[in-house]
Amino acid sequence: MSQYYQKDLFKDKVILVTGGRSGIGYAIAMQFLRLGAKLMICSRKEQALEIARQELADYGPCHSFPCDIRNTDQIAALGNEIQQSFGRLDILVNNAGGQFPAPAELISEKGWAAVINNNLNGTFYMSQAMAKQFFIPQESGNIINIIANVHRGFPGMAHTGAARAGVDNLTKSLAQEWAQYGIRVNAIAPGTIESSGLYQYPEAIQQRFEEAKRENLLGRFGTTEDIANAVSFFASPLSSYISGTTLYVDGCEHLAGDRNGLIKTLRSMMQS
């Protein structure tokens, strides 16, 4: 699909994709490289990150730096590495994140805090650091937050629903506060996307995903490329008058389909 965009769309643009070693982040990174960008990817697992960097380097200049988005010291070190390697940053894609399925009454304090810290706080820490070091002084920048389908809540993963709804709102606040610095901020809410993240769930939940696929009005799961295409749109001048918005890339999943399928599956798993 990247062939539909002009080949040098992101020529000389420096782009950071968090969680770029796998799944959706990997596809985003690959598309940017194919369209001429210089990439930095970060994540926690050093070895897996280095393997991804080597693979992605076939498509263009790709650097990597181990960084936990929950750790502001590590984010500062990542910012210094970007400064040394590229001297600037043009686009930040906050894609890193993760969660686990659980009925709300069984989420421990630690589990709740972990998911909020990763998916809400990490996104804020990263956005603030990159804006202060690069985007505000440059008077230009572009932030794209990958969230989730939280339109009708997220039964079965209440913690991530709350965190992603937080990022949805943060997107609107930052877009307004930082417009004066030439920074655009948008979010993408993926539906169920066939990616590495999806296969980490237990078998019964994967079966539920298959039902959701049949329920989807477009009759399929999303692909990582569907998300990369939307990210490229927000990253490009094609969307230069769009800021503070969330785009659902989900085949209508936020409007239609059984939003309670996951929690029903979890409850039946607990009874069996």
Point out which residues bind ligand NAP (CB under 6 A): 18-19, 21-25, 43-45, 48-49, 68-70, 95-98, 118, 122, 146, 148, 190, 192-193, 195-198
Q: How far is the CB of 236 from ligand NAP (least distance, A)?
A: 20
Instruction: Give the residue with the Cβ less far from ligand NAP, 181 or 209.
Output: 209
Q: In what order do the strands lie in the sheet with 141-146?
A: 62-66, 38-43, 14-18, 91-94, 141-146, 183-190, 246-249
Instruction: Give the residue with the Cβ less far from ligand NAP, 179 or 218.
Output: 218
Q: How far is the CB of 268 from ligand NAP (least distance, A)?
A: 21
Q: How many other C-beta atoms can be found within 10 angstroms of the C-beta atom of residue 23?
A: 20
Instruction: Give the residue with the Cβ less far from ligand NAP, 8 or 211.
Output: 211
Q: Tell me the one-letter amino acid at 258.
A: D
Query: In a 3-state reduction of DSSP, which class is residue 29?
Result: helix
Alpha-carbon span 178 to 104, nearest angstrom: 35
Q: How far is the CB of 38 from ligand NAP (least distance, A)?
A: 20
Instruction: Give the residue with the Cβ less far from ligand NAP, 166 or 241.
Output: 166
Alpha-carbon span 29 to 102, nearest angstrom: 31
Which residue shows structure tokens 């389908």?
149
Q: What are the structure tokens assigned to 211, written together?
A: 């039902």
Q: How far is the CB of 195 from ligand NAP (least distance, A)?
A: 4
Residues 6+ positions from 241 with CB-CB distance below 8 Å? none
Q: How far is the CB of 148 from ligand NAP (least distance, A)?
A: 4
Instruction: Give the residue with the Cβ less far from ligand NAP, 19 or 79.
Output: 19
Nearest CA to 24 among 163, 193, 249? 193
Asked whether the beta carbons of 30 and 17 are under 8 A apart, the reply is: no
Q: How far is the CB of 129 from ligand NAP (least distance, A)?
A: 13
Alpha-carbon span 263 to 155, nearest angstrom: 6
Instruction: Give the residue with the Cβ less far from ligand NAP, 104 or 136.
Output: 104
